[in-house]
Amino acid sequence: MKSNTEKNMGKRPLDGVLVLEFCQYLSGPSAGLRLADLGARVIKIENPGKGDLCRILPIKNQWVGDDSLLFHTINRNKESFTANLKSPEELAEIKNLVGKADVLIHNFRPGVMDKLGLGYETVKEINPKLIFAEISGYGSKGPWAKKPGQDLLLQAMSGLMYSSGNQKDAPTPFGLAIGDMLCGAQMVQGILAALVSRNKTGKGAKLELSLLESLLDFQFELLTTYFASGKRPLRSAVNNAHPLLGAPYGIYATSDSHLAIAMIPLADLNAAIGGEKLEDFDQSQVFSHRDEIKSILAEHFKQKSTDHWLGKLRENGLWAMDVKNWKELKQERGYQEMQLEQEVRLPDGKSILTNRCPIRIDGKRMLSEKPAPELGADTEKIKAAFNLFEIQS
């Protein structure tokens, strides 16, 4: 399925860029993963004996060797260097490595890197060209700085839970660690911008991101509406999919599964599906009478199968889709032709299947079979490669 050319696509955009990852769990490591996909050499700096705590985070008891499957999904193609940062000798080795790095990323609690002797002001003196990027929950200063920066708690804090579910439902989490993922992606954006700037100016930079800011940025449509009106957009009472969009936008049960309906003019929808009761409404009422229209549609769509309705809607060029599970998705020819999966080879000869990097460059997919590193597996090799025994004064 994957050609050797794609597996070894030659020079990648970040080839030669050295990234030190002082991160655990999801937000920071997901940024390191994408930088590695783009060609950077990413070295995880881990605590001896424990390492990234995601190594022992169980996801339905799925493990690969001694580490969790989740750890493997976001730490492939990296190296692991263990160091006790409370040891002056080992901290000196790390500072030596910092002097050779291009990027340092961390998602420790505010103040931790300073206590370890690796805060921005310290490392900037070692390496003025270093790009120092940090993720926190709520920012490094202010009254919220010490709040726990965990994704579900940030979803609760940010108001995001009032965009999913129906109007009378309890606050509904997104269902993924969306704050972690968004913040990790935005860290990559900031690092790429800083690398471009450094190429022009020769100067490094300090990047600061927080889960709260990422989740608020994610809600820019809803928040801008709230800023203008002073009122929180309300979820539909039934079939909610987006609190700012009127009927028919939503998910509807059919006689055998579910159907997603996007933005469709009511008259066009009525003509396609023969919903006589919709004739009492015009396009100007899709928001003022949103719940009534959706309730009528919900009863109407239950009468026939998803394939029946899709046929009617697609004959008229209207936007609709069946709601697929992952098994159904994987069987689709379009999914298969996009080659969205890749195998990661494990040291014992087995492999795990995971997603590939979603970016293509010059038509080539960026794939890598290199697994997540065992704790400390690369320490001695890295010490030798970077002459870390030559301690900086």
Say what percent of the chain tops pLDDT 90.
83
The rounded mean pLDDT for the chain is 92
Distances, alpha carbon 77 to alpha carbons 23, 35, 182, 367, 384, in Å: 15, 10, 21, 10, 20
Q: Are 356 and 366 in contact (CB under 8 A)?
A: yes
Q: Are 45 and 20 in contact (CB under 8 A)?
A: yes
- Which residues make Cβ contacts (< 8 Å) with residue 266, sequence separation at least 6? 247, 248, 278, 281, 282, 283, 286, 293
Given 72, 242, 289, 300, the catalytic residue = 242
Q: What is the pLDDT of residue 350?
A: 86
Outline where 159-261 has alpha helix (H): 178-201, 211-218, 220-229
Threshold 0.75, pTM exceeds: yes
Residue 242 is a catalytic residue: yes
Q: What is the pLDDT of residue 218?
A: 96
Residue scoring higher pLDDT (236 or 387)? 236
Q: What is the pLDDT of residue 1?
A: 42
Tokens of 52: 């990234």
pLDDT digits (tens, 9 = 90+) for 140-192: 999 999 999 999 999 999 999 999 999 999 999 999 999 999 999 999 999 99
Q: What is the pLDDT of residue 393?
A: 43
State yes or no: cis peptide before 371, omega within 30 of 0.
no
Determine how many CB atoms are found less than 10 A away from the CB of residue 134.
Answer: 24
Reported confidence tier of residue 368, pLDDT bands at 50, 70, 90? confident
Torsion over CA: 191, 194, 196, 202 (sign): negative
Reported confidence tier of residue 6, pLDDT bands at 50, 70, 90? very low
| CATH code of the domain occupying 250-329 | 3.30.1540.10
Residue scoring higher pLDDT (153 or 9)? 153
| CATH code of the domain occupying 4-218+339-385 | 3.40.50.10540
Q: What is the pLDDT of residue 3?
A: 43
In a 13 Å sphere around the CA of 12, the CA atoms on its Cβ side amount to 25
Domain ranges of the chain: 4-218+339-385, 250-329
pLDDT digits (tens, 9 = 90+) for 297-347: 999 999 999 999 999 999 999 999 999 999 999 999 999 999 999 999 988
